[in-house]
Structure formats: structure tokens, C-alpha cells
Amino acid sequence: MKLITSTLTLSCCLFASHSANAAEVYGGVGFPGITLGYSQTLTNNVTLRGEYSGGLNQSRSGLRDGVNFNGNVKASSIGLLADYFPVDGGGFRGTAGVTFNDIRGTLNSTGNNGTATINNKPVNLNGLFYNVELKFPSVTPYLGVGYQSKRSGAPGWGFLVDAGVMVGKFNTTVTQNVVGAGPGANPITQADVDAQTNKVRESVNKLSVLPKFTIGVVYSF
């Protein structure tokens, strides 16, 4: 709630000098959750927006090959965005801006007398753990497109759709206590952990953007 209040307060401060122009409030659902925002018309073709999007908090746990795992993903962001409508009075728009993010995921693995593989070496994780944390950059550029059925001018309701991407790569952190575990002649080393971490990092880095999608309603003042 504090994050939502801060976003709306910041938006009002940014756009206060343009109070003579039309304004809108909007809300919707999508990824990464609910969206609440405020927009201010600067010209017939340009609007500025401040919005909060978030609420995603998904967890999953289970047992695979004797290894207990628990995963969690949380996501929220604040966006400061500028829209450009190429056609006067039209609803289609392109959007660019910046997002301030709190997006992270964790995968915690502990042994249940099962065997895992770390850098192609088998190890019984009983009493051990291998945990991975993924964190998206705190600040990222945003590019998107959208459509709004009603532009500011006359008071009333309309609908909107926005789709875009936040551009950035996850940072990967591993915590573990598996070094030295495994068969006595061929135990897990720090080099094995580093190699396994790099495999995870390379796999995650293939995802260099995160999608953002909202469908909702807008009210023009």
C-alpha cells in the first residue's frame, strides 16, 4: 500500500504544473498483477503516466528425484512512462519510459536422501542445500505499445490495453553447503559449484526481457 501511495503522490507532483490539461486515472489486471495509474495530457499526441504494477507472489514446492524443492516468485514495479499517439484523436500509442522494480525469484533445494547432480557429479543432498536467488535489475528501460478507447477531453469511461517489455538481465546468487560432499574420491568442489552456477546463469540470461501486460479501464476527467 505504501508503494501505491508513493507512486500516485509522485505522479501528481510530476504533472501538477500541467493541471490545466486533461487528466485520467486507470486500473487493470495482467502481469505482474494489478495496475493503478495516473496520466496527464501534455499535447494532442503526448501524455505522461505514473503507475504501480504488482501483486504477483507465486510459490510452488514438491519432491523430485528425492530432492525437496521450494520455489517462489515475487514481482512489482513503478513505471514513469511517456505515450505518443501518432494519429490525432486515435487510440493507438507507443510507450517508452523507465521502471523501478522489485522482481525476484528463489529456488531452494534440500535433500531427502535423494541424489542431485552438480556439474555432472552425483551427490546425496541429505542434510545439505543448494539455493538459487534470481533478481531483476532495480531500474530498467521500458518499451511498449497500447490502445486506449477514450482519450482525455470529455469526462467518461473507456478501456485500455498495454503490452511491453522491461529490458534487463537477472542477477544470480547461489548459497550452498555441498562443497566437500559426495564420494570420497571425487567430492564436490567450489569449482563444481561455480560451473553449475554458470550453467544456471547462462540459462537465465537467455531471458533478457520481462513482459508486462495490462487490460483495464480508464476514467477521463
pLDDT < 70 stretches in the chain: 1-21, 64-66, 150-153
Residues 6+ apart with CB under 8 A from 173: 132, 133, 135
What pTM does this model have? 0.80
pLDDT at 149: 86
pLDDT at 151: 66
- Give the model's pLDDT for residue 37: 97
Q: What is the pLDDT at residue 69?
A: 82
Q: What is the pLDDT of residues 118-140, one digit of tens each?
A: 888 888 878 888 899 999 999 99
Residue ranges per structural domain of the chain: 2-55+77-99+140-220
Q: Which amino acid is at 183?
A: P
The conformation of residue 128, written as its DSSP 8-state character, comes to: -
pLDDT at 65: 62
Q: How far is CA 144 from CA 24, 76, 93, in A?
A: 19, 17, 9
